[in-house]
């Protein structure tokens, strides 16, 4: 589950354990990143080397544009890399599905 640009997106992201149950998924966890992002930057290779990866977002939100506790977690390079490697494949009433385009 990806993070969007507003608090509602963040709250809805708490549903991600339901989506990842019984699978070995990579999770972008904002509370963890808040504590570590200044010392350990996000390695973007997982966005470049994606295979069948899927992200779920709140419909019509700006992906990864959030600021948490006045701290930017996902910088412009990260966001651009996401859009280079993923495309929207389906839209529902409340969510969008983005898939790796490789």
2 domain-assigned: no
The number of domains in the chain is 1
Query: pTM for the full model?
Result: 0.71
Q: Please name every residue paired with 86 in a beta bridge, in sequence order, or none if there are none.
A: 100
Burial class (CB in 10 A: 0-12, 13-18, 19+), 57: buried
pLDDT computed for residue 71 by the predictor: 80
pLDDT digits (tens, 9 = 90+) for 19-38: 555 555 556 667 777 777 78
pLDDT digits (tens, 9 = 90+) for 58-87: 888 888 887 777 788 888 999 999 999 999
45 domain-assigned: yes
1 domain-assigned: no
| 87 CB-near residues (< 8 Å, 6+ apart) | 98, 99, 101
Structural domain boundaries, residue 39? 7-100
């Amino acid at each position: 589950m990806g993070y969007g640009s507003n608090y509602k997106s963040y709250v809805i992201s708490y549903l991600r354990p339901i989506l990842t149950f019984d699978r070995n998924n990579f999770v972008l966890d904002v509370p963890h990143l808040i504590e570590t992002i200044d010392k350990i930057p996000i390695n973007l290779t997982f966005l470049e080397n994606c295979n069948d990866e899927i992200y779920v977002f709140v419909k019509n939100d700006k992906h990864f544009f959030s600021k948490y506790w006045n701290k930017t977690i996902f910088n412009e390079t990260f966001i651009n890399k996401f859009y280079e490697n993923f495309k929207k494949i389906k839209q529902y009433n409340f969510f969008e599905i983005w898939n790796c385009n490789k």
